[in-house]
């Protein structure tokens, strides 16, 4: 197990390339189970989660090889396997994305109930609701979800949940519906850019999909899909993380490849905190002018402020001028990073699904432990902004979602190194 050691207090500066989206790559690779022939998915980041899914796909009879450019070429060679095993699925919640393609293409799926970050309840009931509505029979056997259907049938499905639409649930239902008989209408679908990207891939394969990016997606089933070439979108969460690292350290950073249209709420939140954000033809530039100001942030489903950026924004507000409030309406318990930030001198108090962040002039380096992927990123930002040395333990979470993070930060002038813990 590795750790990061950071000597903070130096403003970051320079340019950094935003990698491909993890949350677009995973469902895109799973969707290749649907296709006849070879598919080529490009701009796929070198991440632990991607490697885990690649291994799951190989267990499911797919040959999936990666080249040095980050492109993964996929071809199904055996249609018989239908089991995604516990030893792989337990580490990553997104592995549930193979469920829909397997049922739609092979008529049966046996997928272990997924694991992943500990950020509060993350049920998969809406994934199953979508498949049941399409005609699948589902049961749970010894920790495995078993889904079966001779042929899925299109229908109207409402996918709203208590905390808003489900992104992976929308992906599961949409991919399964592409091979169903008739038309499927998904109401209250997720609108995230990753859903639009997945729909673009499926349409290239020959699917008939309308409305991706809105709350109503219409899918007309087809008999077969074909392999295609596709590049996934840049990672908007990684882009936001680098912008916030610049804001917290008082440094100017150009996030090359960042797409402003994918980050409207994040950019609005930073600008409300008096952080200068400049849209350029090749990306987004952060140019702070003093300490960030106070702002109230509430996470909501897209196009609202992303819950996956809540922890990083909290780290920025920890060194802001005056008091801010952060509320998470997507995962109300996603505040495990606050205790660790307080160890570094932050003044954060929890109040139900909200926290009050009283900004301090400077954080102090300390030993802290990462609890999940985005909390890890928040601690890195805090360590970069803090005076003195910060050691972050359990950074394996970061390797699930950020490619070569320490290398990219070093190129921006950060004093950060990876050590064996």
Mean pLDDT of 388-402: 94
pLDDT for the residue 116: 45
Query: What is the model's pLDDT at position 12?
Result: 98
Alpha-carbon torsion 420, 309, 296, 289, what sign?
A: positive
pLDDT at 119 over 80: no
Per-residue pLDDT at 122: 47
Residues of the chain with CATH 3.65.10.10: 2-19+234-420, 22-231
* CATH annotation of 22-231: 3.65.10.10
**Residue 120 pLDDT > 60, yes or no?**
no
Look over the chain and give the mean of its residue pLDDT values, rounded to a whole number: 95
Q: Given this model, what pLDDT does residue 115 score?
A: 55
User: Residues 333-368: pLDDT tens digits?
Assistant: 999 999 999 999 999 999 999 999 999 999 999 999
Q: What is the pTM of this model?
A: 0.95
pLDDT at residue 123, as a whole number: 65
Which pLDDT score, from 0 to 100, does residue 127 have? 84
Any idea which residues carry the catalytic annotation?
A: 117
Q: How confident is the model at residue 162 (pLDDT cuts 50, 70, 90)?
A: confident
Position 283 pLDDT exceeds 90: yes
The pLDDT value given to residue 125:
86
Pick the CATH number of 2-19+234-420 from 3.65.10.10, 1.10.8.10, 3.40.50.300, 3.40.50.150: 3.65.10.10
pLDDT score for 263:
98
User: Residues 150-155: what's their mean pLDDT?
Assistant: 97
State yes or no: pLDDT of 290 exceeds 80: yes
> Residue 85 and residue 94: Cα distance in Å, rounded?
14
Contact 15, 366 (CB under 8 A): no
Tell me which residue has tokens 């272990």.
112
The secondary element (H helix, E strand) that includes residue 210 is: strand 208-210
When pLDDT is averaged across residues 402-414 and rounded to a whole number, the result is: 97
What six digits make up the tokens of 76? 């199904």
Give the pLDDT score at 118.
42
Question: Angle of helix 167-177 relative to helix 99-106, nearest 10 degrees?
Answer: 10
């Amino acid at each position: 197990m590795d750790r990061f050691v950071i000597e903070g207090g130096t403003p970051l500066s320079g340019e950094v390339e935003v990698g491909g989206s993890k949350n677009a790559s995973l469902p895109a690779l799973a969707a290749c189970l649907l296709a006849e022939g070879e598919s080529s998915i490009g701009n796929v980041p070198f991440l632990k989660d991607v490697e885990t899914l690649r291994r799951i796909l190989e267990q499911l009879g797919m040959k999936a090889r990666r080249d040095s450019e980050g492109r993964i070429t996929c071809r199904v060679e055996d249609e018989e396997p239908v089991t995604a095993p516990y030893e792989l699925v337990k580490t990553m919640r997104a592995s549930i994305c193979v469920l829909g393609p397997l049922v739609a293409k092979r008529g049966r799926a046996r997928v272990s109930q997924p694991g992943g970050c500990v950020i509060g309840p993350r049920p998969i009931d809406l994934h199953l609701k979508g498949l049941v509505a399409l005609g699948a029979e589902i049961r749970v056997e010894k920790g495995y979800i078993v889904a079966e259907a001779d042929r899925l049938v299109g229908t109207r499905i409402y996918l709203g949940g208590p905390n808003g639409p489900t992104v992976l649930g929308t992906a599961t239902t949409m991919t399964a519906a592409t091979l169903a008989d008739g038309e499927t209408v998904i109401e209250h679908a997720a609108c995230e850019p990753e859903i639009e990207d997945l729909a673009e891939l499926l349409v290239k394969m020959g699917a008939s999909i309308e409305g991706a990016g809105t709350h109503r997606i219409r899918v007309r089933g087809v008999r077969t899909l074909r392999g295609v070439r596709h590049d996934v979108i840049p990672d908007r969460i990684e882009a936001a993380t680098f912008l916030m690292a610049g804001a917290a350290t008082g440094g100017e950073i150009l996030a090359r490849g960042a797409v402003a249209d994918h980050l409207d709420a994040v950019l609005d939140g930073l600008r409300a905190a008096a952080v200068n954000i400049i849209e350029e033809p090749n990306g987004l530039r952060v140019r702070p002018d003093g300490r960030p100001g106070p702002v109230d942030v509430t996470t909501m489903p897209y196009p609202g402020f992303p819950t996956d950026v809540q922890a990083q924004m909290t780290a920025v507000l920890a060194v802001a001028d005056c008091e801010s409030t952060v509320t998470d309406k997507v995962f109300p318990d996603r505040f495990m990073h606050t205790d660790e930030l307080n160890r570094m001198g932050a003044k954060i108090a929890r109040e139900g699904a909200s926290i009050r962040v009283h900004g301090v002039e400077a954080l102090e380096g300390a030993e802290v432990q990462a609890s999940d992927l985005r909390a890890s990123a928040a601690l890195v930002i805090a360590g970069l902004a803090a005076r003195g040395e910060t050691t972050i333990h359990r950074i394996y979470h970061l390797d699930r979602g950020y490619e070569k993070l320490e290398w990219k930060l070093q190129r921006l002038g950060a004093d950060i190194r990876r050590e064996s813990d």
